[in-house]
Structure 1
Amino acid sequence: MSDNIKRVLENIKTLTPHEKATLAHCLIASLDEANEADVDDAWAQTAETRFAQLESGKVKAVSWEEIKLGLKRKA
């Protein structure tokens, strides 16, 4: 465990409930931001790959009407 984390854990006892909630919120928000960046990068890569597949003719586009019809047939 890093010294920074040890200091934070030692000082948590001195925080008010409101300060603890603020700290928890900030920690969780920082995790969300990191995950969002990864998700955004993954979606961008997926979009680029799918577009390249469409452009090359490797895959065929399907209309929304075709998708809905297929779903109705399965139901």
Structure 2
Amino acid sequence: MNINQVLENAKQLNVDERALVAHCLISSLEISQDESVEQTWAELAELRYQELVSGKVASVSWDDIKKEAK
């Protein structure tokens, strides 16, 4: 498959699917990964999760975020 075919096929995907494809392509360009960065992200994710579970912070819907960004 050539690049034009890939691009044409990608246009048939919905927005979320195209975003995932873009993420995967960009991620594939990373030559090396810093494990400390991965660990830091994991720790941050755990902290945010605990804040949500405890009620310290409240979640916001994607629709509300999009409305606020306009």
Q: TM range, normalised to the smaller chain?
A: 0.5 to 0.7
Trace 1:49-68 onto structure 2 (pairs within 5 A).
49-68=47-66
Q: Which has the larger radius of gyration?
A: 1
Question: 1:68 Cα deviation (Å)?
Answer: 0.3
Unaligned 5+ runs, structure 1: 1-28
Identity %: 43
RMSD, aligned α-carbons: 1.2
Unaligned 5+ runs, structure 2: 1-30
Query: TM-score with structure 2 length normalisation?
Result: 0.53
Q: Distance in 1 between matches of 2:44 and 2:68?
A: 24
Query: TM-score with structure 1 length normalisation?
Result: 0.49
For residue 50 of structure 2, give the secondary structure of its aligned residue in structure 1: helix
